[in-house]
Amino acid sequence: MSDLGHVLVLAGGLSYEREVSLRSGRRVSEVLRAAGVDVEARDTDASLVPSILADPPDAVFVTLHGGAGEDGAIRSVLELLNVPYVGADPDACRVAFDKPTAKAVVRSFGVRTPESVTLPKETFHDLGATVVLGRIVERLGLPLFVKPARGGSALGASIVRTAEELPAAMVGCFAYGDTALIERYVEGVEVAVSVVDFGNGPVALPAVEIVPDEGVYDYAARYTAGHTEFFAPARLSAQAATACAETAVTAHTALGLRDISRTDLIVDADGVPHFLEVNVAPGMTETSLLPMSAEAAGQDLGDLCRTLLQNAASRT
């Protein structure tokens, strides 16, 4: 049985990723209960703060994806309430959640990341979309990858293989955010590397290789069973696997993250990893990557989550 008192799992919220968050919250609640932890699952509504004040939990596990779950907002509230939680603090979240900023930070630590352009919607419209997009293609070449500068689950993201596809990709991106990140597309093996820190420093779990049936790891491929084939550990050379682990730990450290993170990478034909983005509240659903990494490492997911909560509780 756990030496924790009751803990809170936060899931849901009002972001585009609400349904995924609810699934993550259910999974974390289930594995924690199986590990002997007294769990209460809660959404982020007007009753949350009064409930916490009336009966403060020993610690909180945040499974909110996108929006307030990853931009530091809900964690700022938890700090105001003096409630410990698993994961990065608000300042680190704000840096990591903004993909262009995160890319700039990890690049300064020597990590490779695809060349890119960040374009707010206002600039796209005010300066003339045709001229601006033409210059982007000239600068970065083709193919490109377009995605919102903030957010996750591949919502609003798409591959652009011809110049004619770029305007529609931008419109689709702006449906999910006011700023687009346009990257040079790197051909290679897509992997995700989860990092955990149980108090002795960040350690990378085995990389998970992602092979979507349709060639694009979009929302459906992420959360529909059978649409994507996963290999854990990834089918990489020992040298490439080590490089991926080192890159993920470097990103975790450079961005000032804590307890848990997941770094998404592309490994090129030479075995060199290229940083795409980092997630401070990794998905925990049945098709999510961190649970696969934990299993490949021989770690029970419930024990992992319980240990992270115990460490968080000890920070009070």
Residues designated as active site: 17, 153, 223, 262, 264, 277, 279, 283
Radius of gyration over alpha carbons of the chain, in Å? 19
The whole-angstrom separation of Cα 12 and Cα 94 is: 20
Query: In the structure encoding, which two tokens stand for residue 64, read together?
Result: 């909110």
What is the length of the chain?
Answer: 316
Please report, for residues 21, 40, 124, 162, 179, the alpha-carbon distance to residue 262 in angstroms, rounded to integers and kept in the order given. 16, 25, 31, 31, 23
Task: Give, for 86, the enclosing helix (H) or strand (E).
Answer: strand 85-86
Distance CA 99, CA 114 (A): 12
Compute φ and ψ for 302, nearest 5 degrees: -65, -40
**C-beta of residue 264 within 8 angstroms of C-beta of residue 195:** no
